[in-house]
Amino acid sequence: MINAETISQMKDGVTIINAARGKLIEEQALAAALQSGKVKAAALDVYSAEPPRENPLIGLSNVLHTPHLGASSLEAQRDVAVQMVEQIVDALRGDDFRNTLNMPFRVGPGFNAIRPYMDLAETIGKLQAGLADGPITQVEVQAKGEAVENLIRAIAAALLKGILHNQIEGPLNYINAPVLAEKQGIAIAQTMDIEALDYPNLISCRVKWEGGSHAVAGVLFGGSEPRIVQVDEYRLEARPEGVILVMQNKDVPGVIGQIGTILGAYDVNIGEWRMGRHQPGSEALSFINLDSAPSEAVLDALRKVNAITQVTLLSL
């Protein structure tokens, strides 16, 4: 039995691993030793009571917890080992995250069903990061619809992953994105006050920075095709992929022709062009999918058009 007395007789900084029987260790004594530094770390897959809901070891940063496996035969142990390796490979590839212990949201065998919504949320995050005019300090998330309303934590993690994709050196994933966002001073919250459009399973996100904000909403057409349906007060149905020009302009005759002429002069081909506006003669927003990235000279030429007020180049 490992208890406070036996732990006191150990060398400082030991690591304790228990994969035998839960009651071999007095868990309260081990927790105290881990917190004091007497025991450097512990790894457990068995507990005095299972599942370990009120266990003092839960939540300690220097304890590794794994599920209690009951594989007693060689065949069962082999099958478990193969499953573990397959699931690790799936997680590293980003294909599936079943049984991942430190995900910020619950992941079950139905991960592939929610993955398209997470990909959409990540794309919205990338779009928001590209449109923001300053460091983002607040992210508000809204999900409306039967398929997404219970996925707020997953959607939030994916949004943050998208927002941080060009800001973080090193690995970035669903697990560390919320932590890294917090370290960068980004607060995240669920909201219900973003104007909801009439689309099923709508994911909306509002970001704020000092002096400004943007709201972006997206849906999946046919359950698999991502579309951006709102940028601030502008409504449109745009494909968020590849090289994109997002432009704001005055809604006056000749603007579309001028833009097309400039892009054509530099051999930049337009794949799709979606536009939203308030009303005739007001302001408009263009979401243009291009077949190739325009040079800085192209962007400068577009900015010189009197009716164009803002030009942003994105790559999603």
Q: What is the CATH number of the domain that holds 194?
A: 3.30.1330.90
pLDDT band at 315 (very low <50, low <70, confident <90, very high): very high
| Residue 13 structural domain | 4-65
Q: Residue 71 domain-assigned?
A: no
Q: Is residue 155 part of a domain?
A: yes
Contacts of 270 (CB under 8 A, 6+ apart): 260, 263, 288, 289, 290, 291
Domain end position, chosen among 232, 265, 290: 232
Looking at the fold, whether 215 and 258 belong to one and the same domain comes out as no
Instruction: Examine the domain organization and report whether 215 and 250 are in the same domain.
Output: no
Q: CATH number, domain at 264? A: 3.30.70.260
Indicate whether 7 pLDDT > 80. yes
pLDDT value for 264: 96
Q: Do both 26 and 54 map to the same domain? A: yes
Rounded mean pLDDT of the chain? Answer: 91
Q: Do 260 and 291 lie in a common domain?
A: yes
Domain membership flag for residue 203: yes
Summarize pLDDT for 23-71 with one digit per residue, the tens. Answer: 899 999 999 999 999 999 999 989 988 888 889 999 899 999 887 777 7
96 or 220, higher pLDDT: 220
In a domain, 185, yes or no: yes
**β-strands 212-221, 202-209 pairing:** antiparallel
248 in the same domain as 300: yes
Which residue of the set 68, 98, 153, 239 is catalytic?
A: 68
Residues 163, 139 contacting (CB under 8 angstroms): yes
Does 68 qualify as catalytic in the annotation? yes
21 is catalytic: yes
Once rounded to an integer, what is the mean pLDDT over residues 111-131?
93
Q: Is residue 16 part of a domain?
A: yes
Q: Is residue 275 part of a domain?
A: yes
Active site residue 278: no
| pLDDT in the model for residue 92 | 82
Q: Are residues 40 and 120 in the same domain?
A: no
Q: Single out the catalytic residue among 50, 182, 225, 233.
A: 50
pLDDT tens by residue, 160-181: 999 999 988 888 988 899 999 9
- Judged against a pLDDT cut of 70, whether residue 109 lies above it is answered with no
Same domain, yes or no: 192 and 301: no
In the chain, the number of structural domains is 3
* Residue 103 belongs to some domain of the structure: no
Instruction: Report d(CA 296, CA 298) in Å as an integer.
Output: 5
Three-state SS sequence of the chain: CECHHHHHCCCCCEEEEECCCHHHECHHHHHHHHHHCCEEEEEECCCCCCCCCCCCCCCCCCEEECCCCCCCCHHHHHHHHHHHHHHHHHHHHCCCCCCCCCCCCCCCCCHHHHHHHHHHHHHHHHHHHHHCCCCEEEEEEEEECCCCCCCHHHHHHHHHHHHCCCCCCCCCCCCCHHHHHHHCCCEEEECCCCCCCCCCCEEEEEEEECCEEEEEEEEEECCCEEEEEEECCEEEEECCCCEEEEEEEECCCCHHHHHHHHHHHCCCCEEEEEEEECCCCCEEEEEEEECCCCCHHHHHHHHCCCCEEEEEEEEC
pLDDT at position 245, please? 97
Looking at residue 137, its pLDDT comes to: 97
Asked if residue 94 belongs to a domain, the reply is no
pLDDT digits (tens, 9 = 90+) for 220-248: 998 889 999 999 999 999 999 999 999 99
